[in-house]
Chains A and B, each alone.
Chain A
Amino acid sequence: MEQPGREKTIKEKKIDDKHWEDWERRGGWTPEGWKIVEMKDGPSLNELKPDTFLVVHRPHGSVFHHSYGKVSKFFIGLLEGKLYGTKCPKCGLVYCPPRAHCFNPPCRLQETTWVELPKKGEVHAHTVMTIAWPSMAHLQPLVGAMVRIDGTNTCLPMTMRDIDPEKVNIGLKVNIVISKQPKGDLLDVYATPAEEPKAPKRTEAELKRFREDMDKTREWVKKTFGTKTNK
Chain B
Amino acid sequence: MCEKTLKNKKVAIVAGDISRFDNPRHTLQEEMCAEAVKGILDDVPELELGDFIRKGYACCYSYFSDILEQQQCMHWIINDYLGLSGVPSYRVESGGATPIDAIINAALWIRSGMFPVVLVVGWEKMDELPIQKVNEAIAIAGDTDWDFVSGFTYNAFYATMEARRMHVYGDTEEDLAEVSALCHNNALDNPYAQWPAQHGFSKITVDDIYKSRLISWPYRLLECAMTSEGASALLLANEEMTKKLTDNPVWLTGVGFGSDTMRAGDRPDNPAWKGLYPEDERIWPGQVPKPLSPYPDLQNFGSLRVAARMAYKDAGIHNPRKEISFVEIFDPYAGVVIAALEDFDFCKRGEGMKLVRDGVIQPHGELPCQLSGALTAQGHAVGSTSIAQVVDSYWQLSNQIGKKWGAPGRQLSHPKSAFIHGHGGTGCQAGAVVLEV
* Contact pick for A209, options B25, B191, B210, CB 8 Å: B210
Chain A 53-76 interface mask (CB, 8 Å, partner B; 1/0): 101001010000000100000000
Interface string of A75-108 (1 = CB under 8 A from B): 0000000000000000101000100000111000
* C-alpha spacing A45/B17, complex, angstroms: 14
> A104, A216, A217: which contacts B272 (Cβ < 8 A)?
A104
- Taking CB atoms, residues of chain A closer than 8 Å to B70 are 58, 60
Size band of the interface chain A makes with B: 35 or more
Residue B149 lies at the interface, judged by CB distance under 8 Å to chain A: yes
User: B146 touching A55 by the CB < 8 A rule?
Assistant: no
Task: Give which listed residue, B25, B136, B151, contacts A158 with CB less than 8 A.
Answer: B151
- A125 near B298 with CB under 8 A, answer yes
A185 touches B192 (CB 8 A): no
| Chain B positions within 8 Å of A189 at CB level | 150
B216 and A129 contact, CB distance less than 8 A: yes
B163 in contact (CB, < 8 A): yes
The CA of A155 and the CA of B152, in the complex, are separated in Å by 13
Given A60-B70, A154-B269, also A128-B216 (CB < 8 A): yes
Q: Is the CB of A91 within 8 A of B271?
A: yes
- The answer to whether the Cβ of A5 comes within 8 Å of any Cβ in the partner chain is no
Chain A neighbourhood of B414, CB < 8 A: none
B residues 140-190 with Cβ under 8 Å of A? 143, 145-147, 149-153, 155-157, 159-161, 163-164, 166-167, 172-173
How many contacting A-B pairs (Cβ < 8 A)? Answer: 173
Pair A55/B191 contact, Cβ less than 8 Å: no
Q: Contacts A124-B298, A213-B217 given; indicate if A187 touches B163 (C-beta within 8 A).
A: no
Interface string of A132-153 (1 = CB under 8 A from B): 1110100000101110100001
**Contact present for B271 and A41 (CB under 8 Å):** no
Identity of the chain A residue whose Cβ is nearest the Cβ of B190 in the assembled complex:
A45
> Do A43 and B173 touch across chains, with their CB atoms under 8 A apart?
no
* Cβ–Cβ < 8 Å partners of A42 in chain B: 20, 35
Interface of A is mostly: mixed
Which single member of B18, B32, B160 contacts A126 (CB below 8 Å)?
B160
Q: A177 to chain B: which residues have CB within 8 Å?
A: none
Is B199 engaged at the interface, CB distance under 8 Å to the other chain? no
Contacts of A155 in B (CB 8 A): 264-266, 268
List, in ascending order, chain B residues with CB within 8 A of A200's CB: 166-167
Do B217 and A105 touch (CB < 8 A)?
no
> Is A3 in the interface zone, CB < 8 Å from B?
no
- Residues of B within 8 Å of A, CB-based: how many? 62
| A210 part of interface (Cβ distance < 8 Å) | yes
Instruction: Pick the contact of B191: A41, A44, A60, A142 (CB < 8 A).
Output: A44
- B389 → A minimal CB distance (Å): 16
Is A43 in contact with B160, judged by CB distance below 8 angstroms?
no
Given A131-B155, A142-B151, A144-B152, A126-B163 contact (CB < 8 Å):
yes
What residues of chain B lie closer than 8 Å to A97, measured between beta carbons? 143, 145-146, 263, 265-266
A129 and B153 form a contact (CB under 8 A)? yes
Partner-B contacts on A (CB < 8 A) = 37, 39, 41-46, 51, 53, 55, 58, 60, 68, 91, 93, 97, 103-105, 124-134, 136, 142, 144-146, 148, 153-159, 165, 170-171, 185-187, 189-190, 200, 203, 206, 209-210, 213, 216-217
Of the A-B pairs whose beta carbons lie under 8 Å apart in the complex, a sample of 26, sorted by A's number, is: A41-B25, A43-B35, A43-B39, A46-B406, A97-B143, A97-B266, A104-B271, A124-B164, A125-B164, A127-B160, A127-B163, A127-B218, A128-B214, A128-B216, A129-B155, A131-B216, A153-B269, A155-B268, A157-B150, A159-B152, A170-B163, A186-B151, A187-B151, A189-B150, A203-B172, A209-B173
B residues sitting closer than 8 Å to A (CB atoms) are 17-20, 24-27, 32, 35-36, 38-39, 70, 132, 136, 143, 145-147, 149-153, 155-157, 159-161, 163-164, 166-167, 172-173, 191-193, 196-197, 210, 213-218, 263-266, 268-269, 271-272, 288-289, 292, 298, 406
